[in-house]
């Protein structure tokens, strides 16, 4: 609406303009054009009067529109119309040369204008230096005029030339807006076009008016004045379409006969004029931006003047944007998609927007490569080294640490002393039980000499008990020296700072792990556990040996999950094929397990697709 009002304002030489629509009891402005002053309340009042009476309203504006043009007066002209089925009005403020500010004169002039428009009287050529030629006004119902009351003594103050300028200006405005109103008053596109061609045929007294719209690469006739139904395959309609296509290709108005006698009319127009017994023809392209939407072709029995040609060209500029909007609204879903794809392909394959084309080409290349190029799909997991063989060294009895020979990290051989426990109490107990045994031996021999068999059997039992005590103490004294059970490395136990501390029986003092036998423990996320099976191969990279990778093979998968950092993990065991001397128990790294070859695009988007599926399932249930 704003673009249309700007164009109409330029065509009628208006300094200000206002377009309103009625919504219930309110009048809502849709668009406005301001030249030197903001739209004042007088224009809004003219619009309300036009809406109220459904007729033309002319009112002299009290507010001068330009201080530097003191000799000119401001006149507001309001016309009622319908916008998308709703009542509306448009008001133009015009600058008129007039020596005195006389509203009564304006009223008389407006009455003459409206009577001339109603009677379709001729136009005055004396106002050519005041306003540019524009179409005349065709009024279907008798309008009324509203003005401000002024003293009757001021009548006749305006010269005849200036009266004619106002007449011409208002008539041309009404002509333009009447044709536009005929187009926008109907909702259906075909009905709108039919109303438009009938209005133009009446206005220019034509025998026939045709309008065609571009469909694909050809033009199809959509409406003919005076005909509700017509056969587009008839010879006449085919010739009309050819003439319209000629206008579309030339993108300019074509008039037959032409005022320039040296100019030869185009072939299709000349052929159509000959078929119609040489009537006068004029075809006007309906353009928007850089494209032709359709063609308007008029036929009548007398030639078209240059002034009428200019009027039709201005009319085409006004109705072309509205025709584009109505054509878009009338399009079906399939037509809209074809249009969208056509424009997209045109932008893609045309000569413009090189950066966009290169970007799309690069995107297509990336998509093609990601869909065709394959590589090994792998799942990763946190990994750590654990020894396959590990032994614990514990205290055999309660005592005190008397000596420590090794600590965690020391490499030891089987039988090497790790620590010693205090055995002083054990030595004293052994001496005690050795003396007790000697005493029992003496008693045993004495009773054996006396052949006291019952006493001998009791003493034999006591002697055995004393010997068992001595053997137990000897064993404890022997276990007081803690030795490495296997060749390996001490992985836990550092007691150099705790010599003399008490230890309890069974307390863990050292752990010794083998050096050449490790197993790999993987913490695999539950979303990847389905890809792994026993026998799967993979590669390990340790944080302490980032320059090398070590191959491994999966040997066991535990069926129980363990809570991890934000996700459940499964414990997977694997055997390393190569064990360098620099490996130590407890080292950590990242392992990648080979699954199967897949397209790299699938690999890159797998995690996002899985997440999206879960979100859709969670919120949408699909």
Distance, C-alpha 64 to centroid of its chain: 51
Residue 133 has pLDDT above 50, yes or no: no
Q: Residue 288 pairs with which residues in a beta bridge?
A: 291
Q: Report how far residue 575's alpha carbon sits from residue 551's, in angstroms, rounded to the nearest whole number.
A: 9
Q: Report how far residue 594's alpha carbon sits from residue 378's, in angstroms, rounded to the nearest whole number.
A: 5
pLDDT mean over 348-352: 63
Q: Which of 267, 274, 270, 260 is nearest to 309 (CA)?
A: 260
309: helix, strand or coil: helix
Confidence of residue 71 (pLDDT cuts 50, 70, 90): low
The rounded mean pLDDT for the chain is 77
Task: Quote the pLDDT of residue 335.
Answer: 73
More confident residue, 152 or 608: 608
Triad 538, 542, 547: Cα angle to 5°: 95
Task: Quote the pLDDT of residue 296.
Answer: 93
**Phi then psi for 548, rounded to 5 degrees?**
-135, 155
Q: Report how far residue 106's alpha carbon sits from residue 163's, in angstroms, rounded to the nearest whole number.
A: 8
Residue 566 has pLDDT above 80, yes or no: no
How many other C-beta atoms can be found within 10 angstroms of the C-beta atom of residue 270? 16
pLDDT mean over 137-166: 40
Q: Report how far residue 363's alpha carbon sits from residue 369's, in angstroms, rounded to the nearest whole number.
A: 10
Is 111:133 a contact under the CB 8 Å cutoff? Answer: no
Range with the lowest mean pLDDT among 123-132, 288-297, 333-342, 555-564? 123-132
Question: Alpha-carbon torsion 489, 495, 500, 505, what sign?
Answer: negative
Range with the lowest mean pLDDT among 275-279, 341-345, 408-412, 599-603? 341-345
Task: Quote the pLDDT of residue 261.
Answer: 60
pLDDT mean over 335-360: 72
Q: Report how far residue 304's alpha carbon sits from residue 282's, in angstroms, rounded to the nearest whole number.
A: 7
Task: Quote the pLDDT of residue 224.
Answer: 92
Per residue in 239-284, pLDDT tens? 999 999 999 888 888 888 876 666 777 888 888 888 888 889 999 9
Confidence of residue 102 (pLDDT cuts 50, 70, 90): very low
Task: Quote the pLDDT of residue 106.
Answer: 43
Q: DSSP label at 251?
A: T
Task: Quote the pLDDT of residue 282.
Answer: 92
More confident residue, 108 or 603: 603
Range with the lowest mean pLDDT among 33-37, 80-84, 121-125, 505-509? 121-125
Is 550:539 a contact under the CB 8 Å cutoff? Answer: yes
Per residue in 501-559, pLDDT tens? 888 888 888 888 877 777 888 988 888 888 888 999 999 999 888 888 889 999 988 88
Q: Report how far residue 423's alpha carbon sits from residue 128's, in angstroms, rounded to the nearest whole number.
A: 134
More confident residue, 352 or 415: 415
**Phi then psi for 467, rounded to 5 degrees?**
-70, -35
pLDDT mean over 195-211: 90
Task: Provide DSSP, 481-534.
Answer: EEE-SSSEEEEE---GGGTT-EE-TT-EEEEEE-SS-EEEEEEEETTTGGG--T
Within 13 A of 147's CA, how many CA atoms are on the CB side? 19
Is 282:201 a contact under the CB 8 Å cutoff? Answer: no
Tell me the H-state helices in 412-504: 424-449, 453-479
Q: How would you classify residue 16: left for phi > 0, otherwise alpha for psi between -120 and 50, otherwise beta?
A: beta
Task: Quote the pLDDT of residue 181.
Answer: 77
Q: Report how far residue 394's alpha carbon sits from residue 503's, in angstroms, rounded to the nearest whole number.
A: 10
More confident residue, 159 or 156: 159
Q: Which of 81, 30, 25, 28 is nearest to 57 (CA)?
A: 81
Q: Report how far residue 380's alpha carbon sits from residue 42's, in angstroms, rounded to the nearest whole number.
A: 78
Confidence of residue 352 (pLDDT cuts 50, 70, 90): low
Is 587:384 a contact under the CB 8 Å cutoff? Answer: yes
Q: Report how far residue 512's alpha carbon sits from residue 510's, in angstroms, rounded to the nearest whole number.
A: 7
Q: DSSP label at 227?
A: B
pLDDT mean over 394-412: 84
Task: Quote the pLDDT of residue 62.
Answer: 53
Q: Report how far residue 128's alpha carbon sits from residue 307's, in angstroms, rounded to the nearest whole number.
A: 11
Residue 109 has pLDDT above 60, yes or no: no
Task: Quote the pLDDT of residue 170.
Answer: 65
pLDDT mean over 362-366: 89
Task: Quote the pLDDT of residue 113.
Answer: 33
Residue 425 has pLDDT above 50, yes or no: yes
Looking at mean pLDDT, say which of 381-395, 442-456, 529-543, 608-622 comes out highest. Answer: 529-543
Confidence of residue 285 (pLDDT cuts 50, 70, 90): very high
Triad 113, 115, 116: Cα angle to 5°: 65
Q: Report how far residue 350's alpha carbon sits from residue 341's, in angstroms, rounded to the nearest whole number.
A: 13
Question: Alpha-carbon torsion 304, 307, 311, 313, what sign?
Answer: positive
Task: Quote the pLDDT of residue 474.
Answer: 85
pLDDT mean over 428-449: 85
Q: Report how far residue 267's alpha carbon sits from residue 264's, in angstroms, rounded to the nearest whole number.
A: 9
Tell me the percentage of the chain whose pLDDT exceeds 70.
Answer: 80
Is 285:295 a contact under the CB 8 Å cutoff? Answer: yes
Task: Quote the pLDDT of residue 136.
Answer: 34
Q: Could you tell me how many residues make up the chain?
A: 622
Alpha-carbon distance values, 454 to 208, 458, 473 (Å)? 153, 7, 29
**Phi then psi for 609, rounded to 5 degrees?**
-65, -45
Q: Report how far residue 576's alpha carbon sits from residue 552's, in angstroms, rounded to the nearest whole number.
A: 4
Alpha-carbon distance values, 106 to 49, 77, 294, 460 (Å)? 17, 11, 40, 154
Residue 140 has pLDDT above 60, yes or no: no
Task: Quote the pLDDT of residue 65.
Answer: 44
Per residue in 440-486, pLDDT tens? 888 888 888 887 788 888 888 888 888 888 888 888 888 888 888 88
pLDDT mean over 287-312: 86
Residue 343 has pLDDT above 80, yes or no: no
Is 73:101 a contact under the CB 8 Å cutoff? Answer: yes
């Amino acid at each position: 609406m704003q673009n249309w009002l700007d164009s109409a304002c330029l065509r009628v030489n208006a300094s200000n303009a206002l377009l309103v629509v009625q919504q219930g009891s309110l009048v809502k402005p849709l668009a406005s054009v301001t030249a030197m002053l903001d739209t004042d309340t007088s224009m809004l009042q003219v619009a309300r009067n036009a809406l109220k009476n459904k007729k033309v309203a002319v009112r002299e504006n009290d507010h001068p529109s330009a201080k530097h043009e003191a000799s000119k007066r401001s006149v507001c002209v309001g016309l009622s119309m319908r916008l998308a089925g709703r009542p509306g009005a448009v008001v133009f403020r015009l600058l008129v040369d007039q020596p005195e500010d006389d509203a009564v004169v304006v009223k008389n002039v407006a009455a003459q204008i409206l009577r001339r428009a109603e009677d379709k009287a001729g136009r005055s050529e004396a106002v050519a230096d005041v306003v540019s030629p524009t179409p005349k006004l065709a009024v279907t119902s008798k309008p009324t005029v509203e003005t401000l009351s002024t003293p009757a003594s001021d009548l006749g103050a305006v010269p005849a030339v200036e009266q004619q300028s106002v007449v011409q200006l208002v008539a041309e405005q009404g002509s333009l807006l009447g044709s536009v109103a005929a187009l926008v008053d109907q909702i259906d596109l075909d009905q709108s076009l039919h109303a438009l061609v009938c209005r133009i045929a009446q206005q220019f007294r034509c025998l026939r008016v045709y309008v065609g719209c571009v469909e694909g690469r050809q033009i199809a006739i959509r409406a003919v004045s005076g005909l509700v139904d017509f056969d587009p395959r008839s010879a006449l309609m085919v010739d009309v379409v050819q003439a319209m296509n000629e206008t579309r290709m030339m993108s300019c108005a074509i008039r037959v006969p032409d005022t320039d006698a040296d100019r030869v009319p185009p072939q299709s127009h000349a052929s159509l004029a000959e078929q119609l017994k040489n009537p006068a023809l004029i075809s006007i392209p309906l353009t928007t931006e850089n494209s032709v939407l359709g063609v308007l072709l008029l036929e009548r029995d007398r030639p078209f003047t240059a002034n009428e040609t200019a009027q039709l060209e201005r009319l085409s500029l006004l109705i072309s944007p509205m025709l584009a909007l109505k054509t878009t609204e009338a399009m079906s879903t399939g037509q809209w998609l074809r249009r969208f794809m056509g424009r997209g392909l045109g932008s893609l394959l045309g000569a413009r927007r090189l950066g966009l084309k290169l970007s799309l080409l690069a995107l297509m290349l990336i998509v093609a490569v990601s869909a065709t190029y394959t590589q090994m799909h792998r799942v990763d997991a946190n990994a750590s080294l654990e020894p396959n063989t590990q032994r614990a060294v514990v205290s055999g009895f309660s005592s005190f640490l008397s000596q420590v020979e090794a600590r965690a990290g020391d490499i030891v051989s089987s039988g090497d002393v790790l620590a010693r426990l205090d055995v002083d109490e054990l030595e004293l107990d052994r001496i005690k039980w050795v003396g007790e045994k000697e005493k029992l031996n003496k008693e045993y021999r004495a009773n054996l000499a006396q052949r006291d068999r019952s006493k001998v059997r009791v003493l034999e039992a006591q002697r055995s008990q004393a010997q068992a005590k001595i053997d137990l103490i000897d064993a404890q004294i022997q276990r007081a020296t803690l030795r490495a059970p296997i060749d390996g490395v001490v992985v836990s136990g550092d007691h150099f700072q705790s010599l003399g501390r008490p230890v309890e029986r069974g307390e863990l003092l050292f752990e010794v792990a083998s050096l050449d036998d490790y197993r790999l423990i993987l913490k695999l996320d539950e979303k990847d556990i389905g890809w792994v099976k026993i026998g799967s191969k993979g590669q390990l990279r340790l944080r302490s040996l980032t320059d090398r990778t070590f191959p491994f093979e999966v040997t066991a998968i535990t069926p129980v999950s363990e809570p991890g950092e934000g996700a459940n993990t499964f414990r997977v065991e694997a055997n390393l094929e190569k064990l360098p001397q620099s490996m130590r128990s407890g080292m950590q790294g990242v392992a990648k397990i080979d699954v199967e070859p897949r397209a790299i695009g699938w690999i890159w988007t797998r995690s996002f697709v899985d997440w999206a599926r879960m979100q859709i399932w969670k919120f949408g249930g699909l």
